[in-house]
Amino acid sequence: MIEIENVHKSFGSLKVLKGIDLTVAKGEVVSVIGGSGSGKSTLLTCINGLEPVDSGRILVEGVEVHARSTDLNKLRRKIGIVFQQFNAFPHLTVLENVTLAPRKVKGMSKREAEEIAVKQLDHVGLGDKKSVYPSRLSGGQQQRMAIARALAMSPGYMLFDEVTSALDPQLVGEVLDTLKLLADDGMTMICVTHEMGFARDVSDRVAFFDQGVMAEIGPPEQIFGDAKNEATRKFLSSVR
Amino acid sequence: MFETSLTLNDLMFMLKGAGVTLMVTFFAVTGGTLMGLAFGVIRAQFKPWVTLPLAFVLDIFRSVPLLIQLILANAFQAIAGYGISPFVTSCIVLALYTAAYCTEIVRGAIAAVPAVTRRAARSLGLTWRQDMTQVVFPMALRVALPSWIGLTLGVMKDSALVLWLGIIELLRASQILVTRLQEPMFILLVAGAIYFVLSFPIARLGAQLEKRWKEND
């Protein structure tokens, strides 16, 4: 379970998160929507400790992410994150990209790590690209590789930060299909997304962020069919 | 018909000088690269004001002509009575000179690794050290190599200046022969050819590595 309690976060004088409360249960898929600058992505980077918070706390399976005593490198094994920008390690083949963390962080043998990597690459449909370098992959393939790389650590939670935003429109589908597969497998996911169709079809709950505040959260039918909040309605009518 | 008084013995004398050139270059580049790596990482990781004193000292080594550095260092160690040989003094000064340039090469190459790539590495649970050794260094190496090869070749040629401390390296050996045989054109041509033979493999090695890496990009 991920518990976010009254989290505040600023960059200099810019308040990005203004008291966020959110609990994500095991197996739940929560989509976070909202305009740019609403704090959606910052929340994800706070959840796995890439950014510190100013106040409030975030607990992942009861472990407080920003507590001094927390070993972040250990905690991050449980939380996979995929970013908007493609960030393959260009000097490693696809297979090596995926086996790096299991080998170095979990201390797995090369064979063990490769078994897992091959399974994950097959899962995201890149089974035939194992020995190529990332530069030979399309954007969509690179994103799927990043997903396989995160999954190879067998995380309990996956965070997706606008993973389709930098893709050509015709490549968006293949990545969303991969996310749907994951959701069907019962993975706990928080997806920051601009893909309203995906948010509606796959999520258990949809949260709307507006200027650092979670303005509304609810089941997709309610958010897309009968939003209570004026800002939510306005946002949805602008993106439709 | 071309004639020369240069004997095989003289040529051996020049090659011995070339050996000294190679040795000075080897020690200077090895020491300078190790220091440059350490300083470069420090410069890349810490805020600029923290590393200001280091940057200032390195700037001195980059700005003062090498010849002045060599002569001053040698004079200083003589006055202080350290009893360090001119060869060791030369290697130390050249190593510091190399380190000053290498630091900037390393700093620039580390800065060229995209922040998002490093963030991805850390988000997978890699420690700072693992991020450095597994992701940053291999990526930075590709950026740094051409400049580093250039620096190494430059240091090899600059090492000729150690002749001012009385070390008989390739250029000094050639000078001695020029004075004796009075054939400056031919002897300098031979010296130039030897410098080229020393440099060529290093330049080729760099080109080979770049080509191999490029196939992956």
Structure tokens, A238: 């602008």
Mean pLDDT of chain B: 93
Smallest CA–CA distance, residue B33 to chain A, in Å, is: 22
> Residues with Cβ < 8 Å from A154, sequence gap 6 or more?
A116
Q: Return the pLDDT at A173.
A: 85
Residue listed under structure tokens 């002045």:
B68
> Residues with Cβ < 8 Å from B33, sequence gap 6 or more?
B98, B99, B102, B148
pLDDT tens-digit series, residues B111-159:
999 998 999 999 999 999 999 999 999 999 999 999 999 999 999 999 9
Question: Considering just the CA atoms, what is the radius of gyration of chain B in Å?
Answer: 21
- Under 8 Å CB pairs connecting chains A and B tally to 65
Handedness of CA A32, A33, A38, A41 (dihedral sign): positive
- Alpha-carbon span B147 to A167, nearest angstrom: 34
| Closest among A150, A136, A116 to B119, alpha carbons compared | A150
Mean pLDDT of chain A: 91
Smallest CA–CA distance, residue B107 to chain A, in Å, is: 19
Smallest CA–CA distance, residue A234 to chain B, in Å, is: 32
For chain B, percent of residues with pLDDT exceeding 90: 84
Beta strand extents in A150-212 (DSSP E only)? 157-161, 188-192, 205-210
Assembly ipTM: 0.84
pLDDT tens-digit series, residues B18-69:
999 999 999 999 999 999 999 999 999 888 888 999 999 999 999 999 999 9
- Angle separating helix axes B52-63 and B8-45, nearest 10 degrees: 160
Residues 129-148 of A with CB under 8 A from B: 133, 135, 146
Q: Which pTM was predicted?
A: 0.85
| Closest among B195, B191, B188, B194 to B154, alpha carbons compared | B195
- Alpha-carbon span B198 to B17, nearest angstrom: 12
- Judged by CB atoms closer than 8 Å, whether chains meet at A87 and B117 is answered as yes
- Judged by CB atoms closer than 8 Å, whether chains meet at A100 and B126 is answered as yes
Q: Return the pLDDT at A109.
A: 95
Instruction: Tell me the range of A166-170, B47-51, B169-173 where mean pLDDT is highest.
Output: B169-173
Q: Average pLDDT of B92-106?
A: 96
pLDDT tens-digit series, residues A79-137:
999 998 888 999 999 999 999 999 999 999 999 999 999 999 998 889 999 999 999 99
Query: Is the Cβ–Cβ distance between B172 and B163 less than 8 Å?
Result: yes
- Judged by CB atoms closer than 8 Å, whether chains meet at A100 and B124 is answered as yes
Grouping H, G, I as helix, E, B as strand and the rest as coil, residue A212 is coil
Q: Return the pLDDT at B1.
A: 67
Query: Is the Cβ–Cβ distance between B124 and A76 less than 8 Å?
Result: yes
Query: Is the Cβ–Cβ distance between A47 and A5 less than 8 Å?
Result: no
Q: Average pLDDT of B176-204?
A: 94
- Give yes or no for residue B215 having a pLDDT over 80: no
pLDDT tens-digit series, residues A131-151:
999 999 988 899 999 999 999
- Alpha-carbon span A201 to A176, nearest angstrom: 11
- Alpha-carbon span A127 to A119, nearest angstrom: 8
Give the residue from A73, A84, A160, A165 with the most B CB atoms within 10 Å of its CB, the best one to mutate: A73
Grouping H, G, I as helix, E, B as strand and the rest as coil, residue A159 is strand
Within 8 A of B123 by CB-CB distance, chain A residues are 48, 50, 76, 79-81, 150
Taking any CB pair shorter than 8 Å as contact, residues of chain B touching chain A are: 114, 116-117, 119-127, 130, 134-135, 138-139, 142, 213, 216-217
Chain-centroid distance, C-alpha A6: 20
Structure tokens, B69: 């550095």
Distance set, CA A199 to CA A28, B42, B131, B137 (Å): 13, 44, 34, 39
pLDDT tens-digit series, residues A60-76:
999 999 999 999 888 88
How many other CB atoms are there within 10 angstroms of residue A121's CB atom?
25
Grouping H, G, I as helix, E, B as strand and the rest as coil, residue B199 is helix
HEC readout, A47-112:
HCCCCCCCEEEEEECCEECCCCCCCHHHHCCCEEEECCCCCCCCCCCHHHHHHHHHHHCCCCCHHH
- Give yes or no for residue A36 having a pLDDT over 90: no
Q: Return the pLDDT at B5.
A: 87
Please tell me what DSSP assigns to residue B67: H
Q: Are strands A2-11 and A55-60 parallel, antiparallel or unpaired?
A: antiparallel
Q: Return the pLDDT at B24.
A: 96
Query: Is the Cβ–Cβ distance between B124 and A153 less than 8 Å?
Result: yes
